[in-house]
Amino acid sequence: MILRQTLMTGVLSLAASTMTVSPAHAQAAETFTATAQVKTAGAATTAAPVTIVVDRKMPQSEADRMIGAFKAGGAAALRKALVGVPPTGTVRLGAGAATPTRLTLERATDRGRLLTIVADQPILFLGAGVPGAKPKEGYDFAIIDIEVDATGSGSGTLAPAAKVTVKQDVFVVEDYASELVRLTAVKKVK
Domain that holds residue 144: 2-21+29-188
Alpha helices (runs of H) in 21-127, residue ranges in sequence order: 60-82
pLDDT at 11 over 50: no
Nearest-angstrom CA–CA distance, 172 and 13: 10
The model's pTM is: 0.83
The answer to whether residues 117 and 88 touch, using CB atoms and an 8 Å cutoff, is yes
DSSP state of 133: P
Query: What pLDDT digit, counting tens, does each position of 65-90 carry?
Result: 888 888 888 888 988 999 889 999 99
The structural domain count of the chain equals: 1
Query: What is the tens place of the pLDDT at every residue in 175-189?
Result: 998 888 999 999 999
Q: Which residues contact 126 (CB under 8 A, 6 or more apart)?
A: 38, 160, 161, 176, 177, 179, 181
Residue 168, pLDDT score: 64
